[in-house]
A = this chain, B = another copy of it.
């Protein structure tokens, strides 16, 4: 789909699409050789996400952070957004209530304090952001780091813990959330003592299967773990 079609479908302006592309929030999957932006269905789904978050008052910057967070899951996000929308409706109800009272107040049928007159406006500290940050924000990553670090200077123990954890998940899909979180921990762990690029990380996964010495050592934690890890690592890199 070209910009105008997307614009008409979603109600956002073409300029907005350009803008989102400029700031890297929504880069179309494809372009014609003339430079025309072409949006895929997946791009549309992302745009929908963006609009939901925007409606809930998130800044574009924060939306970008959320969308690119490794812990981000679309389904999870949708369910959360639903809750947020319900919250917002409650707020709206509160405002409606306030205004109805105000109308009566104007007719002299009711007395109102100043505070009551502004009930429902307290937009100030919305709990939405908080929840989102906890779920997908930097804090989540930091916390897990902290926990991992608490295992002490004994790196081998920590390593084993991660392997163990992964082994317990190896019957799941390599791209399941749990698997990806676990493999993320593995990636962080490796980066504590060296600098693994994502590409190197993927290569490592390949080696787990290709090299028998690795395979055997890894599969000690559970049959098929090496293969599982390779797949999960490949997914993680993406």
A: which residues have CB within 8 A of B? 9-11, 41, 44-45, 48, 51-52, 55, 74-75, 78-79, 81-82, 85-86, 88-89, 92-93, 95-96, 99-100, 102-103, 106-107, 114-115, 117-118, 121-124
| B10 & A44 in contact (Cβ 8 Å cutoff) | no
Known contacts A55-B95, A78-B102, A92-B85; decide if A123 and B11 are in contact (CB<8 Å): yes
Known contacts A74-B106, A96-B85; decide if A117 and B48 are in contact (CB<8 Å): yes
| B74 & A122 in contact (Cβ 8 Å cutoff) | no
Taken together as a complex, chains A and B put the C-alpha atoms of A123 and B99 apart, in Å, by 23
Determine the residue in chain B with the shortest Cβ distance to A85: B96
| A114 & B79 in contact (Cβ 8 Å cutoff) | no
Taken together as a complex, chains A and B put the C-alpha atoms of A100 and B85 apart, in Å, by 11
| B75 & A118 in contact (Cβ 8 Å cutoff) | no
Shortest Cβ distance from residue A94 to the other chain B in the assembled complex, whole angstroms: 10
Taken together as a complex, chains A and B put the C-alpha atoms of A51 and B88 apart, in Å, by 16
Our pick among B10, B44, B82 for the contact of A99 (Cβ within 8 Å) is B82
Known contacts A78-B103, A96-B82, A102-B48; decide if A121 and B89 are in contact (CB<8 Å): no
A45: chain B residues within 8 A (beta carbon): 117
Shortest Cβ distance from residue A108 to the other chain B in the assembled complex, whole angstroms: 11
A114: chain B residues within 8 A (beta carbon): 9, 41, 44
Taken together as a complex, chains A and B put the C-alpha atoms of A115 and B86 apart, in Å, by 22
Taken together as a complex, chains A and B put the C-alpha atoms of A102 and B52 apart, in Å, by 12
| B96 & A55 in contact (Cβ 8 Å cutoff) | no
| A89 & B93 in contact (Cβ 8 Å cutoff) | yes
A95: chain B residues within 8 A (beta carbon): 52, 55, 85
Shortest Cβ distance from residue A82 to the other chain B in the assembled complex, whole angstroms: 5
